[in-house]
Amino acid sequence: MARRLFRDSSSSRSSDLAGGDSSTTSTSTAAAAAAAYAAAPPLPSPLPDLGVALSADELRATAYEILLAASRATGAKPLTYIPQSASSSSSLSSSIHRSLTSSTAAAGGTVKRALGLRSASSRRGGGGGARRAPATVAELVRVHLGVTEQADSRIRRALLRIAAGQLGRHAESMVLPLEFLQQFKASDFPDLHEYEAWQLRYLKLLESGLLLHPLVPLKKSDISAQRLRQVIQGAYDTPIETEKNCKPMEELCSAAMTLAGRSLGETFDECHWADGFPLNLHIYQTLIEACFDSEDGAVVDEIDEVVELLSKTWVILGINQMFHNLCFAWALFNHFVMSGQVDIELLSGAENQLIEVVKDAKTAKDPDYCDFLSSTVNSIMGWTERRLLAYHETFSASNIDSMHGIVSIGVSTAKILAEDISHEYRRKWKQETEVVVHKRIETYIRSSLRTAFAQKMEEVDSKRSSRDRMPVLSILAKAIGDLATKEKTVYSPVLKKWHPLATNVAVATLHSCYGNEIKQFIAGITDLTPDTAQVLKAADKLEKVLVYIAVEDSVDSDDGGKLFIREMLPYEAEDVMANLVKAWVKERVDKLKGWIDRNLQQETWNPKANGEYLAPSSVKMMHIIDETFEAFFQLPITTHCTLHSDLTTAVDRNLLYYVSTSKTGCGTQSALIPQLPHLTRCDVGSKLFKKKEKSQVLMKRGSQVGSTTNGASDIPELCVRINTLYYVHTELENLKKKIKTYFQDIESIDNSKDELNIHFKLSQAACQEGIRQLCETFAYKVIYNDLSHVLLDSLYSGDTASNRVEPLLRELDHILRMVSGIVLNGMRNRMITALMKCSFDGFLLALLAGGPTRAFTLQDSQMIESDFRALRSLYVANGRGLPEELVDKASSEVKNILPLLRTDTGTLIERFKQAILESCGSSAKTGLPMPPVPAQWSPNNPNTILRVLCYRNDETATKFLKKAYNLPKRL
């Protein structure tokens, strides 16, 4: 509550401090101070209560009486005054009657210069108004203490009478209340009530100074004290007669003088009635008020003369320079508080005066002083710390000047409490002064920023409307960033005077405050949402701002600010974001994998399943993947470039699984290609067999790679599988283009450098290889399985002329039409090309490895060449089929072999022997080794030539085979 009241009052009174030139500012400041003076309540007194009901007016009257008595200003016969104090003020020689007409010159006195204060006239802008300046110092003090002229006249008369009766006595050797009691009767006052109040005041002073707060402690058995107490109590009930021969008065004087004459040491002619603690300080604090203008609370221009005058009371009150410095510092600060914290000069004066108090505290041994010092310092510190522990509420750019002074005072009070002002403090405080100061400043910063942080949280939460869905922590991060900037520009320049790393302390505190919130937020995150991402981005941005400010602030420090920078434990928002994205990716990918598993098990590969001749699962799968990437790039994160690779890689693996599963169970080349039969001689003269022999299980032609399967799909299903792989491959190319576009939209990345991993290498390579394998499987299945009856079983079997190629061509034409109607345009030529190559291979297989049912004459070569041309024309299709150069390339092997069929037997045998010799070398001289089956048929290959001889229906050929290899005529 106190902090809020202060903030309201200070903010309402500090607006005049901002802007304008120095003279205007000074004038407005003084005007504001005058307007606000006494608007704020004073601080509670740091002195303990007197225990006697002495009012403020009574204390002022008493203080003025002591001042007049001590100043020797009693007319023609002043009291003799010999200063007892060794203070610097004792050397001053002045009279209470000194004229104040030269106040302008006095305004430049030593006290004001020491406090850094300007004259009242300059504070008021040179005007001064119509105020009547007091003629003497005494009059100025009287006015400021609120003593009337009538009371002043009465006191002066009393002092003249006292001086007349006690010539040569020092003021400090008299008990002034007793003296004043004996100088007046009721007739000297306007009415009896005023006289009784006047008399009662002196009785209360005697009770306070001699019984309650004596300089020398009383013993319980002290008879004088008991007698004095009885007289005073009686006088409270019945006014006392003040004549000297009156018994009550005699008893009062006797007991009072006895008690006042007691001393702590050897003294001469001194009375101790007003120098006991804390009565003396209550009176002196009242006197100190004469240093301040009663209208605006400013220090008077005549401060040097006033202080010189006040110092004359020190010997009576037991005051020295140290007590004066402390009382004056308190008064300056108290008047600043009463000005509503507007009068910065008072604050500056208190700041400078406290520097002297700090020096005094180092050597202080008087227990009364130490108690008063501790109480005063704690009171000032309590007031300053209530503001400094929440300085964001108290100060702004408009009143930042007052913050400097208040921090200085807060630091000074902390230094005082840390100094050796008592034995207890010597034991308790061991830190160096600099360490104490740093710790106080750190305490102010951390407390204020924690308070400001809490208020920002409340503001953000209360201002966020139901329509504003932006996360609170995201808004808070922006507010804290602004708060850190304000701290750096407004408050840290002030605090750096006492703590060079004030900004570091501030940002470390803010970092910790927000860190507590963000850690709780992170602990509750279960998945990545736009709000979550926004908060984490805001936290990361805030952290970068705070760290940058800290590093920038600590460049010139000894350790680079490492102590406070290490305090800023990382939020790890980017790591949290990355982990959330990875979890998001894993969840999406796992769902995709489960979806693929379920749908592949249900997939029928039926071309009639949809109108696109694709597996429905592939279309849905690519749609899911496309949506996944679109959702990924809609995530409000800044790390798409580094995190998308995880998504791409995971999707690539799932696609690889889909592709691999899509081609399984369709058969392989090795399982479908027939094996080559053992070589036999042609049975000459027996062209018609009694029983048509089926082709035997043929021997494999060369090394093949593959694995057998338990079943094979039909041609339409194969077409759908091929279409599906082609569709997936094509869609992946489109997806890569989309991803590049996404990156161009959200990030500045040079895609031309191919720095982004947006390639689905595994799945795209698997699509290409799968298409190749399925095309080959399709071709081998058609030629060696579906059309085996018209190729391996029938073509040229028995009678060459009777089993020509037409049945094969009809079957192939039907299959080509079916394929053209199902397969996508991009795959049609590839499938037909595979079928074409396989049909030419099968055609050669019938010619070179057709088994004993086939026997060719030289004349048959013409029919075979004609059949080859017909087979070739099927794929060219008069320009509507495959390109002719592609057909030529695929049929080149057949074209190269056909000339062997029309070569005579003798020439073939010689070519065979030459080929054996060239391939086998010296081993061929002892006999003709069996040549191995080549990977590709060739007219110069000995195995190829040997096979032509084996199927040559010729006596010469059969004899050569019998002799060279002892080949049988039958298997």
SS (H, E, C) 518-542: HHHHHHCCCCCCHHHHHHHHHHHHH
Position 556 in a domain? yes
Does one domain contain both 556 and 412? no
**509 pLDDT higher than 90:** yes
Distance CA 920, CA 897 (A): 22
**471 pLDDT higher than 50:** yes
Does one domain contain both 469 and 396? no
Domain boundary among 269, 284, 318: 318
Does one domain contain both 858 and 897? yes
**422 pLDDT higher than 60:** no
Report the chain's terminal Cα–Cα distance, integer Å.
116
Over the Cα atoms of the chain, what is R_g? 58
Q: What CATH number is associated with residue 624?
A: 1.10.357.50
Cα angle at 134 between 129 and 139, to 5 degrees?
145
SS (H, E, C) 30-87: HHHHHHHCCCCCCCCCCCCCCCCCCCHHHHHHHHHHHHHHHCCCCCCCCCECCCCCCC
Position 480 in a domain? yes
**16 pLDDT higher than 70:** no
Spell out the residues 6+ positions from residue 681 whose beta carbon is closer than 8 angstroms to its own: 950, 957, 958, 961, 962, 967, 968, 969
Q: Mind listing the pLDDT tens digit for each residue in 170-191?
A: 788 889 999 898 888 888 888 8
Domain of residue 625, residue span: 581-681+713-745+757-781
Please tell me whether residue 954 adopts helix, strand or coil conformation: coil
Position 77 in a domain? no
Q: Which of 551-560, 760-769, 880-889, 955-964 has the lowest mean pLDDT?
A: 551-560
Q: How far is CA 149 from CA 67, 146, 883, in A?
A: 15, 10, 132
Distance CA 800, CA 791 (A): 13
Distance CA 171, CA 270 (A): 9
Give mean pLDDT, residues 651-658.
94
**82 pLDDT higher than 60:** no
Position 625 in a domain? yes
Does one domain contain both 402 and 542? no
Does one domain contain both 735 and 615? yes
Position 312 in a domain? yes
Does one domain contain both 327 and 303? no
Domain boundary among 867, 884, 902: 902
> The dihedral of CA 371, 374, 378, 384: what is its sign?
positive
Q: What are the backbone dihedrals phi and psi of residue 716, each rounded to the nearest 5 degrees, phi first?
A: -55, -40
Does one domain contain both 607 and 497? no
Distance CA 842, CA 397 (A): 96
Give mean pLDDT, residues 592-604.
91
Q: Mind listing the pLDDT tens digit for each residue in 122-138?
A: 665 555 454 566 778 88
Please choose, from the candidates 484, 483, 457, the residue with its C-alpha nearest in 3D space to the C-alpha of residue 472: 457
Instruction: Give the pTM.
Output: 0.69
Give mean pLDDT, residues 409-425.
70
Site of tokens 């101070």: 33
Q: Name the band, by pLDDT with cuts 50, 70 and 90, for residue 755.
A: low
Burial 738-764, CB ≥16 within 10 A → b, else e: ebeebbeebeeeeeeeeebbbebebbb
Does one domain contain both 868 and 919? no
**Per-residue pLDDT at 25:** 42
Q: Mind listing the pLDDT tens digit for each residue in 330-371?
A: 999 999 999 888 888 899 999 999 989 988 988 888 999 999
Domain boundary among 421, 438, 468: 421
**468 pLDDT higher than 80:** no
Does one domain contain both 220 and 237? yes
**59 pLDDT higher than 80:** yes
**Per-residue pLDDT at 606:** 85
Q: Which of 37-51, 439-453, 633-647, 949-963 has the lowest mean pLDDT?
A: 633-647
Position 802 in a domain? yes
- The percentage of the chain sitting over the pLDDT mark of 90, rounded to a whole number, equals 45
Give mean pLDDT, residues 792-808.
91
Cα angle at 860 between 859 and 865, to 5 degrees?
110
Higher-confidence residue of 928 and 746: namely: 928
Domains contained in the chain, number: 6
Distance CA 186, CA 199 (A): 10
Q: Mind listing the pLDDT tens digit for each residue in 730-752?
A: 999 999 999 888 888 775 554 44
Site of tokens 């094509």: 730
**Per-residue pLDDT at 467:** 52
Does one domain contain both 816 and 947? no
Q: Name the band, by pLDDT with cuts 50, 70 and 90, for residue 665.
A: confident
Q: Name the band, by pLDDT with cuts 50, 70 and 90, for residue 559.
A: low
The phi-psi region of residue 94 (left if phi > 0; otherwise alpha if psi is between -120 and 50; otherwise beta) is beta
Tell me the average pLDDT of the chain: 82
Q: Mind listing the pLDDT tens digit for each residue in 608-647?
A: 877 778 999 999 999 999 999 998 888 777 777 777 888 8
Give mean pLDDT, residues 536-563.
82
The answer to whether 201 and 62 are in contact (CB under 8 A) is: yes
DSSP labels for 86-126?
-SGGGG----TT-B-TTHHHHTT-HHHHHHT---HHHHTTT
Give mean pLDDT, residues 477-491.
94
Does one domain contain both 304 and 328? no
Most confident by average pLDDT, 1-5, 604-608, 711-715, 961-965: 961-965
Does one domain contain both 876 and 859? yes
**Per-residue pLDDT at 749:** 52
Other CB atoms within 10 A of residue 230 CB? 14
The answer to whether 675 and 699 are in contact (CB under 8 A) is: yes
Burial 656-671, CB ≥16 within 10 A → b, else e: bbbbeebbeebbbbeb
**Per-residue pLDDT at 920:** 77
**515 pLDDT higher than 50:** yes
Distance CA 154, CA 140 (A): 18
- Which class for 914: exposed (0-12), middle (13-18), buried (19 or more C-beta within 10 A)? middle
Position 884 in a domain? yes
Q: Mind listing the pLDDT tens digit for each residue in 856-875?
A: 999 999 999 999 999 999 99
Q: What is the DSSP letter of 190?
A: S
Position 20 in a domain? no
